[in-house]
Amino acid sequence: MTQLEFYQDESGTPCARGRDRRLATYLETDIQGSTNIARELLDILADKNFRGDITGNGHSVSIAEKTATIESLYDDETPARRLSRTRLQAELKRWLTFIS
């Protein structure tokens, strides 16, 4: 698993880059610099019984027992990205640390 790289652009906006472009874009556009949103999503992912959809600014996340699927709300050409819940949790924890 290749981790994303986090950085701030010239204006101080948190950004992500790496091989997993869909996840990077999700963090940048839906979580942004909000520690509250990041914590809320981490709480949801920590609940092993939670199954459902979460809709954000530009993406929806469908959470199943072991996977999470990130889909663009506006770009039908962009493929959905399915990853493990644990991978999403790990990157989200790293993002939270970065934006805190």
pLDDT digits (tens, 9 = 90+) for 52-100: 999 999 999 999 999 999 999 998 888 999 999 999 999 999 999 999 9
pLDDT of amino acid 1 = 58
pLDDT tens profile 8-51: 999 999 999 999 999 999 999 999 999 999 999 999 999 999 99
Enumerate the domain spans of the chain.
Answer: 5-99
- For the residues of 7-62, what is the DSSP string, one character each? EE-TT--EEEESS-HHHHHHIIIIITT-HHHHHHHHHHHH-TT--EEEE-SSEEEE
Say how far apart CA 98 and CA 100 lie, in whole Å: 6
Say how far apart CA 97 and CA 58 lie, in whole Å: 22
